Every structure is written in structure tokens, then in C-alpha cells.
Amino acid sequence: MSPTEFDRFMQRIEQAAGVSSQTELANLLNLNRSAISRAKKRGTVPRAWVSKLCGMFDLDPVWLKHGVGEEEHFCPVPLVRAKLDAGGGSYVVDSRMEEEIAFRQPWLRQRGNPGEMVLMEVSGDSMEPLIKEGDMVLVDQSQKDLYAGGIYAVGVQETIMVKRVERHPRRLILVSANPDYSPIHLQGDEMETLRIIGRVVGMWRDFH
């Protein structure tokens, strides 16, 4: 018979914390032995047990629940309230977090620094068809250097937006993907008003 989720969970908790019997597990969780027996019969592990044991022994809940190795760990990325305008600029610049969305850590590492990444919602259509209204863009705030062809979250005066940024001698040009929108030219002192929030390294679209 193949080992169940419960069996593999017991193997991991013994490996990590030396809990070698169901009685010991029941004592740790302040449960009756019968609760452990019922979980073993179902072959599953309640989420509350995982949470409590991880707090007690400083364990990774993904590893304890699923046995996923470090190379498969998930990394939470905050979705902030600020909205990036794909147009003339958004005044919604609140940096507080609304929620977290988990991505595979190796996927994030291939694109930059996971610890400096945030998700921001896009409003407007100036970056269509590449980026549509309602899309979430993944912004690496550690990548502020401008590279040819790069798309960046930027701030201009009191607004923030998502644009392709082109550097030219003595000027910067913010370019939209939608040809209906004219490029924004920044020259002289205007260039000092541009804040690079970070480079767009990925996009998440929710298909309804």
C-alpha cells in the first residue's frame, strides 16, 4: 500500500522534531489519541496541525504539509494598493499591502530579487495589447537601471505609471504599446522628476 499524506507527514515530523509516535503527536497538539487515529484513517493532515507544529519547531509549512524540497518552495509576493496607470498616470500611490500571492521561488529568482518584488494592478489601456487593464505586473524594485526595451513602473511628479522607458541624449521618452497614445518626452529638469520604482519582470492575468 502506498504511503498516505498522513504517513509522509509523520515521517517528516519525526525527521524534523523527533516525534516518533501518534501519542507524542497528540500530546503536542493537545488532542485525544482518537483524533490522530481519525486523521490517519482519512490519510490527510488538518491545516491547523501543520500551522501549530511549524510555530513550535520553526518549520516550513509547505515542506511539512507537502514534502516539497527547497528548490520547489513558494515565495509570497505582496500585492500593494497602488495602481499603475497605463495612460496619463495614476494618483493611487498607496504602498500598503492588500494581500500576498505565492509564486515558485525558482521562477522569481530567474527574474530578479524576490525579496524586492511587489505586484501592482494596471489601470488604463495605453500598454495594450501587451498589458491590459486589470493585469497585475510583477515589479522588481531592486532593478532601477534603465535597459533598452525594458518596461518599468515609474513615478512622474505625483503620479505612477507603467511604460517602456527609452534613454536618449539629454532626454527620456516614456513609450506606450498602444499607438493611440503619444510618447511622453522628459527633457532638462523634467528628467529629474522621473522616479524608477522598478523593472516589470512578469505579469499575471486573471482569466474570467
User: CA–CA separation, 94 vs 83, rounded Å?
Assistant: 8
Residue-wise pLDDT tens for the chain (208 aa)? 567 889 989 988 888 888 889 999 999 999 999 999 999 999 889 989 988 998 888 777 878 887 765 445 667 888 886 777 665 544 444 556 667 888 877 788 888 888 889 999 898 899 999 999 889 999 999 999 988 889 999 988 778 889 999 988 889 999 999 999 999 999 888 888 889 999 999 988 765 5
Domain limits of the chain? 5-71, 74-204
- According to the model, what pLDDT value does residue 95 have? 57
- Specify the CATH number of the domain 5-71: 1.10.260.40
Superfamily of domain 74-204: Umud Fragment, subunit A (2.10.109.10)
The model's pTM: 0.61
